Chain A
Amino acid sequence: MRWMWIDRIVELVPKERMVAIKQISLAEEHLHDHFPSTPTRRAMPVMPMSLIVEGMAQTAGVLVGHAEGFKEKVVLAKVSKAKIDRDATPGCTLRYTATIEQFTAAGASTTGIVELIEPTAKGEPKAEVIGQIDLIFSHLDQNMGGVEYPEENFVFSESFKTLMETSGIEANF
């Protein structure tokens, strides 16, 4: 399971919306480098925003791929908007909600809400919207340049199948 930045799909409304979560753990090595301590400051383990964007891209990408039965090679083409207002720290959960805005033969546009869920000592965890990430996906085989790619769908690899199956979603593609 390499380069997977979502842990579980918690809701999938085909061709419409998908919700996925990512648990942030201090065991993740990159958090120790982002940011390490300095002579004047303690370490600040914060989930890198670029990886939050990747998490949303995986959430929205699976939603867009699922819409056509994973026949299309769905690639992230453009980050139209990415705004995160708060740091996401270990022990918290990121919840990505991706919604398809437009879908055509050439690709799709999605809008996405990022929430940060903080555990509390008692009762319900606290959820807060911390940002928005809007994306454009391209169906690679429909590219304007007419470039041909291998037939095999190398985008939706075994890792994505495993993610879907462990989330209780059929992945027979």
Chain B
Amino acid sequence: MERSEIFDKIQEILVDALAVDDDEVTNEATLIGDLGAESIDILDISFKLEQEFGFKIEQGELFPEGITQDPDYVEDGKVTAKGLELLKERVPHFNFAELEADPSVENVAKIFTVEALVTFCEQKLQAA
């Protein structure tokens, strides 16, 4: 499936799940910041992606869970090198450039963009 086709389907899912306008769903838009997604919306989006694309999403596969609350991976409000490695392993669809430049915990949500979601689906479809 072409990346543009994946984007179109994801745009439709996000408009439905987050009650946003389709022109708000751009590649750069962050789900939690720009589109107002809450944790439960991530579950909703996972369900909708599974239905649309026919693959299974394991818990924590789409968005990292627990890492930013774990003192092993966060120190003084910043993700540690160990935490960053784990994030890269758990959620390889994220673009880590911004987080590497400033590893503040709040930046983890900022790198969860629509583009990361498209990459996630692309990788899942390729692996299937």
Contact = CB atoms under 8 A, between A and B. Distances in A.
Interface of A: 77-78, 80, 101-102, 104-107, 109, 136, 138, 142-146
B41 A78 contact: yes
A146 B44 contact: no
Given A144-B65, A146-B66, A146-B69, A138 B40 contact: yes
A80 B17 CA distance: 7
Given A102-B51, A145-B69, A146-B69, A80 B44 contact: yes
B85 interface: no
A41 to B, nearest CB: 33
Given A77-B43, A78-B41, A144-B65, A106 B51 contact: no
Contacts of B50: 102
Please classify the interface of chain B as helix (H, G, I), strand (E, B), loop, or mixed, using the class held by over half of its residues. helix
Contact of A106 (B41, B43, B66, B69): B43
Nearest to B44: A136
Contacts of A105: 59
A108 B46 CA distance: 11
B6 interface: no
Q: Which of A102, A106, A109, A142 has the most CB of B within 10 A?
A: A106
B63 interface: yes
A63 to B, nearest CB: 16
Nearest to B64: A144
Contacts of A109: 44, 47
Nearest to B16: A80
Contacts of B51: 101-102
Given A105-B59, A146-B65, A136 B43 contact: yes
Contact of A136 (B40, B59, B65): B40
